[in-house]
């Protein structure tokens, strides 16, 4: 597809923009983003960043933001409830649904559209500052539609044990939603945030999310991302994290749904002694494509990062992983390790992985590794020898492969639910694999 | 950084001298006429001229690659002279008739051309600015049926072989520099090992770039028939110039059933001075095709020279059970830039590949490993193991790793690991404690780091490589 028609496609997405805000700077930010959308085009496989992910099926369909929020019965929403949560914001097709939301956390957890005026200074300092949209058409598009979303401000030294649940529900086809999330954790605070994407229907829709997270000195955050979109959905997410001195960021992302999903995660270790651990699991089958691009940017000394990304790929699905670790000049005593592990369950499944190191400092410890393979025959044989059937053995091993990541989620109810989902999916996958072999 | 190391690294280039021989230089610029001129001068058959012209026409439509992690001013391809041959004085009957000036050049480089060559057991096909001047040991190789000559000679004497294999591994339009090479290549080596023959000696050529502003476009073609085996060495040094010289070579290897080709390179072209001025641009396409079952192609390279290196010796593993290997040491210092690695394309069943890459960066240099391991759907049971280690000396250099892994068959097993390390103060202290000076300690640590690669090199190359690394790093540590 040529550039002219793809950029026109982006223009077609710009219809039905939200009303102007009372804040001049916010209107300017949105106007800038609209300009960038006009200047950029939908990436193609000729762009290095999108080389393995062909997003062109998206451009064959048209999407519009929802006019109004669909009315959902409380019971419908409660099926995704996380019992431990102290606060919840629900967005239906991208529109804030106050009747399903609550906040008992004692911190700011509110809709961005209204919260941004109350937290003018803080929002202005962070919104659009971390997730740059200069060259990123999808982040620009999200910023152009910046309105409803989550604003979370954790005050100084506040340690919130119970998680905050952000639930995005897709109910209508051909809808584009632009969830936005801004998390500001002040110094010494700690918080757990769950971003949860679910659907009530299986036809095509488009989720284009942007999350910005700023951790001040010594702050700590656990971030869980559960992507359980509908089978025909397009899910594109940009998450940008900025870490101040000695702050700690832990993230677990699980991708189960969507026809094509893309998760860009950028973590900037912007001060000394920051730490992050980033774990991901993509469990896909059929004709799904799950793409994760991460950038861990060690800008200053003594940072530490750990990353484990796993993919279980069945059917004719395709998993893409591009993990970049950057150690900038002067970022001495950086300690970084990264691992990409991939399990192929079928003859048509495909994995493209690229763990990448760029190092410009000499006193560092950096390692990365990648493996691609199928279940170890010796392991299957061992379980066979203990009386497990071939199918049961394969189920168990596949499940265990994925469970390592799920097990790192600190919220028990969500962990159990995701474990069930993985179990269900591995059973169908293993049955398929057994048939094939 | 200690002064000892500084001094160590900053050793001037030892092979910098220009031989004063009148050269027959074509006018600058590239056009179809230039290509016809080259082809005419070399008395080439029509099909080769057609191949050149087709490459040139494809090249015109191509764009210079922008993706490598290297920076350099735009090359003016019209400012290069594409042909230069030492002026023929008379037909050479024996070694004694070779231009003494030329012999002295080889003397300085230490090429074992005469008796020493025989003692060393090395047949040297010397490329001196694009034209093959002398070939030794030809008779001995001919006894077992091996053809080892310059490619222009092969075009005349074995046209059917050249025509069959030239461009079969690297098509004329493969990439920008390969297309350029296919259009204007002047000379290179041709080697043919017939069925069942094990080459009795290591074959080697010595490339040199002479005559300022002459791009070098060598073409090497090695074919090993069923069950044949050969070990081929390539060593490079070049005189010191201030203007950049472009070098765009193409090397093609073809291994049929059960054949075995081992290709070793030590590259020490002029890298520019300590301020990054001058140096060779080394944009090379090297590719081997394991065409037959159980064939094996092994690349070993020690890259220490050139201002810019852009080179990915690759293996296309088409035959079932074929094996590809890549062992590399790339050292960059001062303002050198290297973007090098390999491609292992697994097509056949049970194909195996091993990649061991060691990158050493010092000074302001930038060293990237870029590799591709692709397992096609047909490559059941394929296996790859890759290891990429980097060592940084000083805090102004960079080391990057870009491994692409594409797996399309579930029975394949692919492993990749990479690590980064440095020469620690404590290591140097330990050596000092045992009475070993910093310079020697660094050399020992580097040699330990590169051991896995060096042990793949033929013995005399291994000795040379060890010395070369020590030399290149003089003054950079401490």
CA distance B299 to chain A (A): 23
> Do β-strands A190-199 and A164-170 pair in parallel, antiparallel, or remain unpaired?
parallel
- pLDDT value at position B15? 56
Q: What is the mean pLDDT of residues A359-367?
A: 89
- pLDDT value at position B175? 92
Of the candidates B390, B392, B407, the beta carbon closest to that of A350 is on B407
A372 vs B contacts (CB less than 8 Å): 375, 405, 407, 412-414
- pLDDT value at position A432? 59
Residue identified by tokens 């109810």 is: A413
- pLDDT value at position B188? 82
Tell me how far apart the alpha carbons of residues A205 and B69 are, in angstroms, rounded to a whole number. 38
> In chain B, what percentage of residues exceed pLDDT 70?
77
pLDDT at A56 exceeding the cut of 80: yes
Interaxial angle between packed helices A3-13 and A137-144, expressed in degrees from 0 to 180 and rounded to the nearest 10: 20
Q: What is the mean pLDDT of residues B247-269?
A: 91
Residue B374's closest chain A neighbor by CA? A352
Q: Which of A260-274, A407-421, B223-237 has the lowest mean pLDDT?
A: B223-237
Question: Contact, B388 vs B425, CB < 8 A?
Answer: no
Residue B370's closest chain A neighbor by CA? A356
Q: What is the mean pLDDT of residues A270-294?
A: 96
For A92, the token pair is: 């239906």
pLDDT at B12 exceeding the cut of 60: no
Q: In terms of C-beta density within 10 A (0-12 exposed, 13-18 middle, 19 or more buried), how is residue A267 classed?
A: buried
Instruction: Write down the ipTM of this complex.
Output: 0.84
Q: Which of A327, A360, A430 best probes binding to B when mutated, by most B CB atoms within 10 angstroms?
A: A360
Tell me the per-residue pLDDT of A327-360, one tens digit each, with 9 for 90 and over.
Answer: 999 999 999 999 999 999 998 999 999 999 999 9
Residue A358's closest chain B neighbor by CA? B400
Q: What is the mean pLDDT of residues B223-232?
A: 94
Residue B365's closest chain A neighbor by CA? A360
A348 vs B contacts (CB less than 8 Å): 377
Residue B411's closest chain A neighbor by CA? A374
- pLDDT value at position B104? 60
For B329, the token pair is: 């040491």
Residues of A with CB under 8 A from a CB of B: 48, 52, 329-330, 332, 342, 344-374
Q: Specify the higher pLDDT residue, A53 or B15.
A: A53
- pLDDT value at position B132? 45
- Judged by CB atoms closer than 8 Å, whether chains meet at A359 and B418 is answered as no
- pLDDT value at position A176? 95
pLDDT at B352 exceeding the cut of 80: yes
pLDDT at A150 exceeding the cut of 50: yes
- pLDDT value at position B137? 65
- Judged by CB atoms closer than 8 Å, whether chains meet at B392 and A361 is answered as yes
- pLDDT value at position B97? 55
- pLDDT value at position A314? 92
Position B208 confidence tier, pLDDT thresholds 50, 70, 90: very low
- Judged by CB atoms closer than 8 Å, whether chains meet at A355 and B418 is answered as yes
- Judged by CB atoms closer than 8 Å, whether chains meet at A354 and B405 is answered as yes
pTM given for the model: 0.85
CA distance B75 to chain A (A): 24
- Judged by CB atoms closer than 8 Å, whether chains meet at A357 and B418 is answered as yes
Question: Contact, B121 vs B27, CB < 8 A?
Answer: no
Look over chain B and give the mean of its residue pLDDT values, rounded to a whole number.
81
Q: What is the mean pLDDT of residues B110-127?
A: 46
The length of chain A is 437
Q: Which of A199-203, B46-50, B177-181, B467-471 has the lowest mean pLDDT?
A: B467-471
Report in angstroms the alpha-carbon separations of B396 from A78, A269, B69, B197, B364. Answer: 56, 20, 16, 50, 5
DSSP state string for B342-378? -EEEE-STT-EEEEEEEEEEETT-EEEEEEEEEE-TT
pLDDT at B475 exceeding the cut of 80: no
> In chain A, what percentage of residues exceed pLDDT 70?
96
pLDDT at B74 exceeding the cut of 60: yes
Q: A388: number of CA atoms within 13 Å, CB side?
A: 15
Tell me the per-residue pLDDT of A12-22, one tens digit each, with 9 for 90 and over.
Answer: 888 888 888 88
pLDDT at B140 exceeding the cut of 80: no
Of the candidates B67, B393, B408, the beta carbon closest to that of A362 is on B393
Report helix, strand or coil for B329: strand
Reference B203, options B225, B222, B179, B178; nearest CA is B222
Q: What is the mean pLDDT of residues A129-143?
A: 94
For B2, the token pair is: 């200690």
Residue A353's closest chain B neighbor by CA? B405
Per DSSP, B68 falls in state S
- pLDDT value at position A404? 94
Look over chain A and give the mean of its residue pLDDT values, rounded to a whole number.
92
Q: How many CB atoms lie within 10 A of CB B46?
A: 8
B414 touches chain A (CB under 8 A): yes
Q: What is the mean pLDDT of residues A130-157?
A: 95
Residue identified by tokens 């200047």 is: A39
Tell me how far apart the alpha carbons of residues B54 and B172 are, in angstroms, rounded to a whole number. 8
- pLDDT value at position B269? 80
- pLDDT value at position B371? 93
CA distance B133 to chain A (A): 45
- pLDDT value at position A133? 93
Q: Which of A407-416, A427-436, B146-155 has the lowest mean pLDDT?
A: A427-436
Tell me how far apart the alpha carbons of residues B95 and B114 are, in angstroms, rounded to a whole number. 8
Reference A208, options A56, A65, A352, A371; nearest CA is A65
Question: Contact, A274 vs A246, CB < 8 A?
Answer: yes
pLDDT at B116 exceeding the cut of 60: no
Report helix, strand or coil for B217: coil
Question: Contact, A192 vs A225, CB < 8 A?
Answer: no
Report helix, strand or coil for B212: coil
pLDDT at B71 exceeding the cut of 80: yes
pLDDT at B478 exceeding the cut of 50: no
B73 touches chain A (CB under 8 A): no
Q: What is the mean pLDDT of residues A133-162?
A: 95
> Do β-strands B337-340 and B308-311 pair in parallel, antiparallel, or remain unpaired?
parallel
DSSP state string for B242-292? SS-EEE--EEEEEE-TT-EEEEEEEEE-----TTS-S-EEEEEEEEEEE-S
pLDDT at B211 exceeding the cut of 70: no
pLDDT at A296 exceeding the cut of 90: yes
- pLDDT value at position B245? 76
B418 vs A contacts (CB less than 8 Å): 355, 357, 366-369
pLDDT at B117 exceeding the cut of 50: no
B337 touches chain A (CB under 8 A): no
Residue B409's closest chain A neighbor by CA? A347
pLDDT at A276 exceeding the cut of 90: yes
Q: What is the mean pLDDT of residues B284-308?
A: 93
- pLDDT value at position B95? 54
Q: Which of A61-75, B64-78, B128-142 has the lowest mean pLDDT?
A: B128-142
pLDDT at A170 exceeding the cut of 80: yes
CA distance B440 to chain A (A): 20
Of the candidates B399, B405, B412, the beta carbon closest to that of A352 is on B405
A332 vs B contacts (CB less than 8 Å): 395
CA dihedral B25, B31, B35, B36 (to 10 degrees): -100
Query: Which residues have C-beta within 8 Å of that of residue A35, sequence separation ≥ 6?
Result: none
Question: Contact, A173 vs A111, CB < 8 A?
Answer: no
3-state secondary structure chain A: CCHHHHHHHHHHHCCCCCCCCCCHHHHHHHHHHHHHHHHCCCCCCCCHHHCCCCCHHHHCCCCECCCCCCCCCHHHHHCCCCCCCCEEEEEECCEECHHHCEECCCCEEEEHHHHHHHCHHHHHHHCCCCCCCCCCHHHHHHHHCCCCCEEEEECCCCECCCCEEEEEEECCCCEEECCEEEEEECCCCEEEEEEEEEECCCCCCEEEEEEEEEECCCCEEEEEEEECCCCCCEEEEEEEEEECCCCEEEEEEEECCCCEEEEEEEEEECCCCCEEEEEEEEEECCCCEEEEEEEEEECCCCCEEEEEEEEEECCCCEEEEEEEEEECCCCCCCEEEEEEEEEECCCCCEEEEEEEEEECCCCCEEEEEEEEECCCHHHHHHHHHCCCCHHHHHHHHHHHHHHHHHCCCCCHHHHHHHHHHHHHHHHHHHHHHHHHC
Tell me how far apart the alpha carbons of residues A406 and A413 are, in angstroms, rounded to a whole number. 12
pLDDT at B160 exceeding the cut of 60: yes
Report in angstroms the alpha-carbon separations of B465 from A188, A407, B6, B116, B264. Answer: 54, 50, 20, 20, 11
Of the candidates B67, B413, B418, the beta carbon closest to that of A373 is on B413
Question: Contact, A368 vs A400, CB < 8 A?
Answer: no
- Judged by CB atoms closer than 8 Å, whether chains meet at A367 and B418 is answered as yes
- pLDDT value at position A6? 58
For A138, the token pair is: 């999808």
- pLDDT value at position A268? 97
- pLDDT value at position B209? 46
């Amino acid at each position: 597809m040529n550039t002219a028609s793809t950029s026109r496609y982006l223009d077609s997405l710009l219809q039905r923009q939200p009303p102007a805000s009372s804040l001049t700077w916010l209107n300017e930010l949105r106007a800038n983003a609209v300009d960038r959308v006009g200047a950029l085009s939908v990436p193609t496989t000729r762009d290095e960043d999108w080389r393995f992910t062909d997003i062109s099926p998206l451009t064959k369909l048209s999407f519009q933001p929802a006019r109004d929020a669909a009315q959902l019965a409380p019971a419908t929403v409660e099926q995704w409830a996380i019992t431990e949560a102290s606060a919840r914001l629900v967005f239906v097709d991208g529109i804030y649904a106050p009747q399903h939301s609550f906040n008992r956390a004692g911190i700011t957890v509110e809709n961005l559209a209204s919260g941004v005026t109350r937290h003018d200074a803080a929002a202005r300092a962070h919104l659009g500052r971390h997730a740059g949209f200069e060259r990123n058409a999808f982040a620009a598009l999200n910023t152009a539609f910046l309105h409803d979303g989550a604003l979370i401000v954790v005050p100084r030294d506040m340690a919130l044990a119970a998680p905050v649940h952000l639930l995005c529900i897709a109910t209508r086809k051909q809808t584009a939603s632009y969830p936005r999330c801004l998390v500001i954790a002040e110094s010494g605070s700690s918080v757990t945030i769950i971003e949860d994407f679910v659907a009530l229907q299986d036809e095509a829709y488009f989720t284009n999310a942007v999350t910005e997270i700023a951790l001040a000195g010594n702050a700590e955050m656990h971030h869980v991302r559960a992507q359980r979109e509908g089978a025909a959905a397009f899910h594109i997410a940009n998450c940008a994290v900025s870490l101040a001195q000695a702050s700690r960021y832990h993230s677990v992302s699980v991708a189960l749904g969507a026809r094509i999903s893309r998760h860009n995660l950028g973590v900037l270790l912007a001060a000394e002694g920051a730490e992050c651990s980033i774990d991901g699991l993509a469990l896909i089958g059929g004709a799904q494509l799950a793409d994760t691009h991460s950038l861990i940017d060690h800008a200053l000394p003594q940072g530490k990062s750990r990353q484990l990304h796993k993919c279980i790929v069945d059917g004719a699905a395709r998993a893409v992983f591009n993990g970049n670790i950057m150690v900038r000049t002067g970022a001495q005593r950086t300690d970084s390790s990264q691992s990409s592990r991939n399990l192929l369950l079928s003859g048509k499944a495909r994995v493209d992985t690229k763990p990448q190191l760029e190092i410009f400092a000499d006193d560092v410890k950096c390692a990365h590794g990648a493996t691609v393979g199928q279940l170890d025959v010796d392991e299957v044989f061992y379980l066979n020898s203990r009386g497990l059937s071939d199918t049961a053995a394969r189920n168990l091993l596949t499940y265990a492969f994925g469970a390592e990541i799920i097990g790192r989620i600190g919220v028990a109810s969500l962990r159990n639910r995701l474990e069930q989902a993985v179990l269900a999916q591995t059973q169908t996958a293993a049955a398929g694999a057994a048939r094939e072999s | 950084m200690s002064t000892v190391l500084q001094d160590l690294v900053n050793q001037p280039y030892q092979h910098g001298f220009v031989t004063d021989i009148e050269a027959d230089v074509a006018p600058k610029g590239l056009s179809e006429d230039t290509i016809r001129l080259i082809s005419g001068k070399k008395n080439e058959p029509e099909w080769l001229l057609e191949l050149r012209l087709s490459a040139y026409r494809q090249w015109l439509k191509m764009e210079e690659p922008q993706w490598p992690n290297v920076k350099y001013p735009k090359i003016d391809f019209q400012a290069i002279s594409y042909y230069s041959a030492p002026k023929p004085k008379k037909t050479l009957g024996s070694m004694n008739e070779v231009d003494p000036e030329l012999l002295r050049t080889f003397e300085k480089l230490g090429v074992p051309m005469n008796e020493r060559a025989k003692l060393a057991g090395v047949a040297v096909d010397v490329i001196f600015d694009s034209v093959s001047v002398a070939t030794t040991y030809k008779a001995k190789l001919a006894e077992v049926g091996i053809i080892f000559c310059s490619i222009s000679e092969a075009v005349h004497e074995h046209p059917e072989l050249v025509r069959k294999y030239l461009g079969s591994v690297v098509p004329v339009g493969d990439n920008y520099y390969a297309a350029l090479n296919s259009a204007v290549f002047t000379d290179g080596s041709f080697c043919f090992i017939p069925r069942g023959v094990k080459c009795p000696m290591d074959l080697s050529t010595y490339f040199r770039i002479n005559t300022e502003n002459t791009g070098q476009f060598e073409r090497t073609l090695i074919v090993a028939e069923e069950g044949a085996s050969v070990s081929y060495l390539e060593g490079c040094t070049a005189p010191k110039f201030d203007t950049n010289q472009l070098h765009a070579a193409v090397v093609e290897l073809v291994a049929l059933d059960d054949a075995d080709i081992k290709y070793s390179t030590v590259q020490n072209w002029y890298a520019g001075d300590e301020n990054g001025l001058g140096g060779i641009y080394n944009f090379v396409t090297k590719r081997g095709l394991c065409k037959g079952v159980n064939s094996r192609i092994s690349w070993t390279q020690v890259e220490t020279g050139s201002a810019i290196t852009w080179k990915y010796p690759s293996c296309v593993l088409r035959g079932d059970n074929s094996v590809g290997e890549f062992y590399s040491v790339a050292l960059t210092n001062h303002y050198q830039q290297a973007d090098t690695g390999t491609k292992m394309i697994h097509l056949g069943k049970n194909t195996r590949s091993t990649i061991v890459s060691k990158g050493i960066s010092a000074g302001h240099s930038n060293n990237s490993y870029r590799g591709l391991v692709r397992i096609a759907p047909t490559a059941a049971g394929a296996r790859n193991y890759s290891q990429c280690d980097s060592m940084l000396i000083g805090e102004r250099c960079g080391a990057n790793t870009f491994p692409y892994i594409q797996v399309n068959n579930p029975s394949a097993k692919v492993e990749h690991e990479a690590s980064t390390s440095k020469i620690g103060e404590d290591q140097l202290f330990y050596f000092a404690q045992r009475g070993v000076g910093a310079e020697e300690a660094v050399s020992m640590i580097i040699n330990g780091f590169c051991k896995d690669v060096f042990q793949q090199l033929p013995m005399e190359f291994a000795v040379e490589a060890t010395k070369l690394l020590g030399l290149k790093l003089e003054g950079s540590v401490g």
